[in-house]
Chain A
Amino acid sequence: TQLLEQSPQFLSIQEGENLTVYCNSSSVFSSLQWYRQEPGEGPVLLVTVVTGGEVKKLKRLTFQFGDARKDSSLHITAAQHGDTGLYLCAGLMNYGGATNKLIFGTGTLLAVQP
């Protein structure tokens, strides 16, 4: 059972278009991270959201954490070719005691055509 479902799974758009990626779960997370990964590289952290309802902006990227801390969205305005990559949400869950673990979503593969 996948705890974090992302949609869409694949997205191909033209430069200049806007897009939104969703990350949904039935579980509550103490925080949620968004990563971007290029082929052959490790994921790179984009943002961390902690508070329900929180909105963070990173240039053309807007991240939102759901009020109940079960879901999140990533909105990209005026996409550029350089935004191409695998976008991963990751939720932090308590494993037991003081140990947490980071669970990754199913991923969204974005291709921005020049």
Chain B
Amino acid sequence: DTEVTQTPKHLVMGMTNKKSLKCEQHMGHRAMYWYKQKAKKPPELMFVYSYEKLSINESVPSRFSPECPNSSLLNLHLHALQPEDSALYLCASSQGTYGFGEAFFGQGTRLTVV
């Protein structure tokens, strides 16, 4: 099983809403990532969790709040987002932040903030 599963696939939310994105993998990977991607642009790293601890926060605004409940799950809690936060949010995992960096990506959540 080389799948990274993200839910929901699409999400429309208002600027005052609170929502969460979920990501799950069962490959035994110990590093998990959130990326943000605008149309026809490369993914931009937001957060890295290594062994369930936050190891990298790329100066992401506090309206994005990551959480890693266990080694298989990664959440991204959203609150008071802006329309410019609309993007494809990608979750990825890899064996660890050591190694060759091969990351497996989920299909993404297409987020629209209205």
Total count of chain A residues near the partner, CB < 8 A: 28
* Interface status of B27 (Cβ within 8 A of chain A): no
Binds B, one of A13-21, A37-45, A69-77: A37-45
Q: Which residue of A lies closest to B6 (CB)?
A: A42
Q: In whole angstroms, how far apart are the Cα atoms of A10 and B56 in the complex?
A: 31
For the complex, give the distance between the alpha carbons of A28 and B94 in Å: 21
**Contact call A45/B101, Cβ cutoff below 8 A:** no
Contacting pair B97 A43 (CB below 8 A):
no
The answer to whether the Cβ of B66 comes within 8 Å of any Cβ in the partner chain is: no
The 8 Å CB contact of B50, one of A45, A88, A92, A99, is A99
A95 closest partner in B (C-beta): B56
Complex Cα distance, B88 from A41, in Å, reads 9
Chain B contact residue count (CB 8 A cutoff) = 29
- A40-B110, A107-B40, A109-B40 are contacts. A102–B56 as well, Cβ < 8 Å? no
Judging by beta carbons under 8 Å apart, are A40 and B100 in contact?
no
A98 within 8 A of B: yes
**Per-residue contact bits, chain B 78-103, to A (CB 8 Å; 1 contact, 0 not):** 00000000001010101001111111
Which of A33, A98, A99, A105 is close to B102, meaning CB atoms less than 8 Å apart?
A: A33
Report how far A88 CA is from B40 CA in the complex, Å.
11
Shortest beta-carbon distance from A54 to chain B in Å: 12
Give the A-binding residues of B (Cβ under 8 A): 4, 33, 40-45, 48, 50, 55-56, 88, 90, 92, 94, 97-108, 110
Contact residues of A with B, CB < 8 Å? 30-31, 33, 35, 40-45, 48, 50, 86, 88, 90, 92, 95, 98-107, 109
CB-defined A-B contacts under 8 Å, sample of 9: A33-B100, A40-B110, A90-B103, A100-B101, A101-B48, A102-B45, A102-B101, A104-B44, A107-B42
